[in-house]
Amino acid sequence: MKHLKLFTVLALIFVANIVSAQSTFDKWPAVKELHGVMSETFHPAEEGDLAPIKTRSEEMMKKAADLLKSDIPTEFRTNAILASAERLQIQSKALNKLVKANATDATLVKSITDLHDTFHEIVGLCSEPKK
């Protein structure tokens, strides 16, 4: 019985996070556009396929810059989200430089993983209840 209750609570949290991310993507289209490039480059990198990030690092950098230039919904214009979006832009520029410099695979994986973590930090901050 305890396991069923725990499973139910975890399932509800998971669904709430998905719904929050979907509404974030709907409200802030630039996040959705960045997510498209992120998912198509990060997940292959997790599996050892760095070709997508090597060919799309400049696109990633542009999408990260576009995020800050976009019409950010008022509810997402917090200091924490803006700081994370700035960090994302800096990390994406650094990743692009590493790709152009033919950095090691391990260095590229670390860089894109950090970028991915920052992206999810932004989505998480957008999903937090406002005080």
Is 11's pLDDT higher than 70?
Answer: no
User: What amino acid occupies position 31?
Assistant: V
- pTM for this predicted structure: 0.80
Q: List pLDDT tens digits, range 45-57.
A: 999 999 999 999 9
Query: In whole numbers, what is the pLDDT of the chain averaged over residues?
Result: 87
Which residue carries 């198509």 as its tokens? 40
How does residue 107 score in pLDDT terms, banded at 50, 70 and 90?
very high
Our CA angle for 43, 47, 49, nearest 5°, is 85
Q: List pLDDT tens digits, range 70-95.
A: 999 999 999 999 999 999 999 999 99
